[in-house]
Amino acid sequence: MRPAEKTALKNIASCFKNVVIAKQSVNVTWGNFSLLQAELVCMETLWPFKAWKYYMNLAGQEFPLKTNRYIVAALKALDGANIASGKEVANTPQLQARIAMKQTPAPHGIRVTSGSMHIAANRFFVDFCIHDTRARDFLEWLKSTHIPDELFFSSINYNPHLGIPGTYLGKVAGSPLRKLFLRYVIWHGQNNNMCRGFFVRNVCILGVEDLSKAYSGLHLFANKFHLNFEHFALDCLEEVLYELTWGEFVDDIHINASYYKRLDYVTKQLKTNGTYS
């Protein structure tokens, strides 16, 4: 990012009490440790602020499908559960190749799993990631692996012996009630016929014709959009979000978050008496 752009963002952030820019910049390269490092910098930046209860890492090319009020209700329904996808690395040759160069197993008995780097994590989870020596050891072990950002958060969430409240107690293989709802995303090779836009790096760039399907589910955000492709899609999303927000405010519409309460993430989470500062 150029100096002028940094200055502009800092000036915009200064207008809001709830917007903070990380003091440390990271030169991010996809596939290596720098991407995970940037995430940890964001966690460290947010940690001193006490009001938040969930950390959600959003990308710059996605847009909310639900109102802020709805998202808050959904997160409350999670009752402290962490949301992170996971697959067994040991049982998947393609994923196993990512850690094939490691001569030693992961430290502290951590069973390595793989999943999206995009998560919803409580303060216990974030506390562990940036302060616990076991997390530091695991990070050091991951530095020489390929795409470590897809291994770190997932592995933490599927290793309940680490004792982090909200982590998952069920089988990593998954179940119908362990659906990911944070993002609506169409991956190449899974739902090719659903994508009305086009694929970039195996992810569908959504267009206008993709919006109705995105809204039909219970996803909180849609990923991803390009401003130079059917920008009317974002215009539509903005208009719909405005109407929904205004309608909820005027009519005090009840938000039904029962779906989220029934998910395995919630019913099979580790519950302890842990506290955080």
3-state secondary structure 57-75: CCCCCEEECCCHHHHHHHH
Q: CA-CA distance, 73 to 42, in Å (whole number)?
A: 24
Q: Which of 45-54, 73-82, 243-252 has the lowest mean pLDDT?
A: 243-252
Q: CA-CA distance, 46 to 21, in Å (whole number)?
A: 10
Q: What is the pLDDT of residue 276?
A: 46
Domain locations along the chain: 3-59+80-173
Q: CA-CA distance, 261 to 83, in Å (whole number)?
A: 13
Which range among 94-108, 118-132, 191-205, 244-258 has the greatest average pLDDT?
Answer: 118-132
Confidence bin at 275 (pLDDT 50/70/90): low
Compute how many other C-beta atoms are within 10 angstroms of the C-beta atom of residue 132.
Answer: 16
Instruction: Please name the residue that has the structure tokens 């909820």.
Output: 248
Average pLDDT over residues 105-110: 95
Q: What is the pLDDT of residue 158?
A: 96
Average pLDDT over residues 239-264: 92
Confidence bin at 277 (pLDDT 50/70/90): very low
Q: What is the pLDDT of residue 274?
A: 57
For CA atoms 25, 29, 34, 35, the dihedral sign is positive
| End-to-end CA gap in the chain | 34
Q: Taking 60 as the threshold, does the pLDDT of residue 112 lie above it? A: yes
What does the pLDDT look like over 9-40, one tens digit per residue? 999 999 998 899 998 889 988 888 999 999 99
255 within 8 A of 216, measured Cβ to Cβ: no
Q: Which of 29-33, 107-111, 139-143 has the lowest mean pLDDT?
A: 29-33
Q: CA-CA distance, 189 to 103, in Å (whole number)?
A: 33
Query: Which helix (H) or strand (E) is 32 found in, with range?
Result: none
Confidence bin at 195 (pLDDT 50/70/90): very high
Q: Taking 90 as the threshold, does the pLDDT of residue 268 lie above it? A: yes
Q: Taking 90 as the threshold, does the pLDDT of residue 89 lie above it? A: no
Model-level pTM greater than 0.85? yes
DSSP assignment, residue 52? -
